[in-house]
Amino acid sequence: MSYENQILISKRALKELKSIPDKDRESIKNRISKLAFFPLAHLDVKKLKGMQNIYRLRIGDYRIIFEYNKDERLVKILKLGKRGGIYD
């Protein structure tokens, strides 16, 4: 049995990722790849209150909002950015 999740990145998140400085982008890409082993991977992840299957991953000043479907073993990156405006 494989514990690896499939990772999908929305067009919005991909566009936001391209606008991030190179040094931060590499760190973010590294953490996104570790989401393939969510929830087993030890990452700074919290479930968002009032949302079903929506989580946030903290990477310094950046946040990644993603949806996790346990049955399909699917992580969908919805959006990412600096923590100030990510939750709007």
Structural domains in the chain?
Answer: 6-82 (3.30.2310.20)
pLDDT digits (tens, 9 = 90+) for 64-87: 999 999 999 999 999 999 988 787
pLDDT given at position 65: 96
In 10 A of CB 73, how many CB atoms?
14
pLDDT for residue 8 is more than 90: yes
Predicted local confidence at residue 83, as pLDDT: 84
Mean pLDDT of 41-57: 94
- Token pair, residue 23, equals 């040094």
Alpha-carbon span 16 to 38, nearest angstrom: 22
The alpha carbons of the chain give a radius of gyration, in whole angstroms, of: 12
Average model confidence (pLDDT) for the chain?
Answer: 92
CA atoms within 13 A on the CB side of 42: 0
Angle between helices 11-18 and 22-34 (to 10 degrees): 140
